[in-house]
Each structure stands twice: as structure tokens, then as C-alpha cells.
Structure 1
């Protein structure tokens, strides 16, 4: 039976720019950076969570055909590429302030929701990122 998720994939248009954002701004660490034939297999993971990595993949062969690559790039830049990351934090307001201090464009302020406090942003390519401070479930 399936027991977990090891890698999630999002399309990025420039892997070096993706590293600057995900590692330099969000605090991920490079997990794998290998050249496999025509593609660079580049994964990042959060410190302390090496079991779940994010593949920062270019929309190019072998992921998509050469005929579709331009279309995928266009869709990604419009924020419709399907890339979504949902991240958690212990303190959403502090995380928001730290990201703003690192120059991350933050169109939303932290908002109290029924499940906790969260805010959203987009990576440099249009992928959606949400950061949430989850409210602990009520005791039974």
C-alpha cells in the first residue's frame, strides 16, 4: 500500500532563479542536483523534512514535448500551471515579516481563518504558495 509522498513537482522557468527563491528566500535546502541526460533533476526540501521534496522542473523534454513546452511556460506564468505548495509555520505573522524583509512580494497580509492564520503569495513563475499557522484541533 502507498505510505507517503516523496516528491512533489512544480514547473519553474529558470532553475537558478527558483533556487534563489526557494532556498534563499523560503529557507528550503537543495536535496538533489543531478544532470540526467537532457534534464537537470533539482529537488529542494525543508530542513527537518527530507522525506518530502519539491522537484523544480523546467517545462521542457522529457517532462513535456517540445511542441507543448511554450504552451506550458505560458500557462505557468499566468498562474494556471497547477503548481501549488501549502506550507506550515509556527508563527504566520513572523514568517510574513521575515519573507517581506527578504524582498518577497507578499500581496496578502496574514488572515485569521477557521483553521488558523494564513497568507498567500506566488513564486517568481506564477506558482501559488500558501503559508499557514494551523490551529491545534480541539482536545477530545
Structure 2
């Protein structure tokens, strides 16, 4: 029935600022940018990844819905992106001005560091262990 996950939504306060972060600092590509039923529909993804990240602003919604969406700003922690070398990715991203909660840590499932986007949402940068079942 289900074939794949195609998109995940992240609420951002400023789409241009978020776009600059995800594109220029993380190296994501713009995979969609057009008007939608609630304003600009903007998607980005790492190169070659078919799952898009929708950078959605509350601005295009009615006041009640916008208020509900605004409560999500900075509270999203569900994105985990795999990398070949977490420590190297951490250093590269820090040099580009990406903020992290701390230095990379060894976990049972691999090495990870938690980056923060322009709204304070978490992005886990993870190097899985070869035998990980996660």
C-alpha cells in the first residue's frame, strides 16, 4: 500500500532565512518552490534524496491555525540525517556557522551531533555503526 515517504514538514518563521540555512549551510537542494493553497510551498532535500523537507511558514494560514503552527517553532526534533563521518560533518558545518547543542557523542547506534536550524529545531547528524539495526 505505502511506497515511500515523500515529504516531511518543518514549521519555520521565515522561509527565506530557512532556505538560506538549509541550502547554503547544509547543502540541500531546492526541490520545489511554488504557490500552494496556504502561501509558498517550498521544499528542500539533500542531494539525491527523494524525501523532501517542506519549509512551511504559518503566514499563509488563518489566524487560529497560524497560532497553532507557531507553537511548533523550535520544538521539532524528529529529523535524523545519516553521514559517512559525523565528526568531519560537524567540523564542516560549524565552520559554516551552524550551531550545535554540543560536540559529537558516541551512542550505541553510532556517532551523532545535534545541530539547530534558524528557529532552534533540531537536526541530528548521525554516523551509524556498521552493524546497527536502527
TM-score by length of 1: 0.86
How far apart, CA to CA, are the structure 2 residues paired with 1:130 and 1:38?
A: 28
How far apart, CA to CA, are the structure 2 residues paired with 1:92 and 1:113?
A: 12
Tell me by how many angstroms 1:76 deviates.
Answer: 3.1
- Are the aligned partners of 1:76 and 1:125 in contact in 2 as well (CA < 8 Å)? no
Q: Which residue of 2 aligns with 1:132?
A: 126
Alignment of 1:75-90 (within 5 A): 75-77=71-73, 79-80=74-75, 82=76, 84-90=78-84
How far apart, CA to CA, are the structure 1 residues paired with 2:37 and 2:98?
A: 33
How far apart, CA to CA, are the structure 1 residues paired with 2:28 and 2:58?
A: 21
Q: Which residue of 2 aligns with 1:109?
A: 103
Alignment of 1:50-89 (within 5 A): 51-62=50-61, 65-73=62-70, 75-77=71-73, 79-80=74-75, 82=76, 84-89=78-83
- Are the aligned partners of 2:34 and 2:40 in contact in 1 as well (CA < 8 Å)? yes
Q: SS of 1:19's equivalent?
A: helix
Which runs of no fewer than 5 residues in structure 1 stay unpaired? none
Tell me by how many angstroms 1:85 deviates.
Answer: 1.1
Q: SS of 1:47's equivalent?
A: coil
Which runs of no fewer than 5 residues in structure 2 stay unpaired? none
- Are the aligned partners of 2:21 and 2:117 in contact in 1 as well (CA < 8 Å)? yes
Tell me by how many angstroms 1:59 deviates.
Answer: 1.6
Render the CA deviation track for 1:62-85: whole Å, top value 9, x for unaligned: 4xx312313432x234x33x4521
Q: SS of 2:101's equivalent?
A: coil
Tell me by how many angstroms 1:121 deviates.
Answer: 2.0
Tell me by how many angstroms 1:37 deviates.
Answer: 4.9
How far apart, CA to CA, are the structure 1 residues paired with 2:93 and 2:58?
A: 27
